Amino acid sequence: MKTWITQTAAGVLAVAAFSLTACKKDEVQATLTPTNSVSLTASTTSVVLTQANAAANAATFTFTPLTYSWANVDKPYSPATTYTLQVAKQGTNFANVVSSIDLGAGPSKTFTVGDLNTPLLAGGLPVGTATPLDIRVKAVYAANAPMYSPTLPLTATVYCAQPAANQAWSIIGAAAKGWSTDAVMTYDCAQNAFTYTGSFAADEYKFRYGADWKANLGDGGSTGVLKQDGGNLKITKAGTYTITLKPASLNSDGKVSDGSTYTVK
């Protein structure tokens, strides 16, 4: 049998629960709304990029940064917004983005030939071929869906950048040009590797970076495998060979990570 005290307490709890629910339903949320759309203009519709002009300006991309309107908030602020230039093969509707290039805060950013060549080359554009592209700005703010500018055309011709001598791999040793002269290797963009073709003696050699011994590669203990400070490699029969090196990345101490390989053909 319920007493009037029990019934009264239950009633108070029910009223409290209703009040909490009512407050939750009546809660007003702050809203953030962009007040403009994103636009894009480019200083050119065609870029021919060459290593000889790497330091020259290639193109300037100008866009309209987003502005915002707040509702139901005491202290409105501008949210962090990221802007990237998306690049895709022309006519693909950006199904596969070739490159996403940071544009900073805007309203414009100028790229040198070298700065523009790097992401386009990494995106798989063929070297020395004029490739029709589509470009647009992607704007992302808070956790909301991205906004895009209208698409513009851009035709780009990229080059395979050959590193300077102090950033290139070379072959050193009696099998090549001796232990005091480096046979500088050529960078092959398609293979992402360094190659050298020439006459070799039946003798020993190693690989080194920047004509210095700090980063050097030798025998890694298995066929085709290299390691930092490994033992000397050997050409067993004199002749003309193409040696291909796929070096691993350099560590912060300037030495080579594990995973470097090579072939001799």
Among residues 73, 71, 39, the alpha carbon closest in space to that of 150 is found at: 39
Among residues 117, 118, 116, 84, the alpha carbon closest in space to that of 103 is found at: 84
Rounded CA separation 169/208 (Å): 6
Give the model's pLDDT for residue 74: 77
Q: pTM here? A: 0.68
Give the model's pLDDT for residue 30: 72
Q: What is the pLDDT along the chain (265 residues), one digit of tens a residue?
A: 443 333 333 333 333 333 334 444 456 677 778 888 999 999 999 999 999 999 999 999 999 999 888 887 777 777 889 999 999 999 999 999 999 999 999 899 999 999 999 999 989 999 999 999 999 999 998 777 899 999 999 999 999 988 888 899 999 999 999 999 999 999 998 888 999 999 999 999 999 999 999 999 999 999 999 999 999 999 999 999 999 999 999 999 999 999 999 999 9
Q: Regarding beta strands 46-48 and 152-157, do their DSSP bridges make them parallel or antiparallel, or are they unpaired?
A: parallel
For the stretch 185-191, contacts whose Cβ atoms lie closer than 8 Å and that sit 24 or more positions apart, written own/partner, are 185/243, 185/245, 186/162, 187/160, 187/161, 187/162, 187/163, 188/160, 188/244, 189/121, 189/127, 189/160, 189/161, 190/127, 191/244, 191/246
Domain spanning 165-264, CATH class: mainly beta
Give the model's pLDDT for residue 31: 79
DSSP H helical segments within the chain, as ranges?
A: 4-26, 113-122
Give the start-end residues of each E strand in 125-188.
131-141, 147-148, 152-157, 169-173, 178-184, 186-188
Q: How many CB atoms lie within 10 A of CB 231?
A: 12
Give the model's pLDDT for residue 6: 35
Angle at 68 between CA 63 and CA 73, to 5 degrees: 165
Please tell me if the domain spanning 31-157 has the same topology as the one spanning 165-264: yes
Domain ranges of the chain: 31-157, 165-264
First-to-final CA distance of the chain: 98
Rounded CA separation 81/60 (Å): 20
- CATH number of the 31-157 domain: 2.60.40.10
Rounded CA separation 263/103 (Å): 40
Angle at 231 between CA 199 and CA 234, to 5 degrees: 25
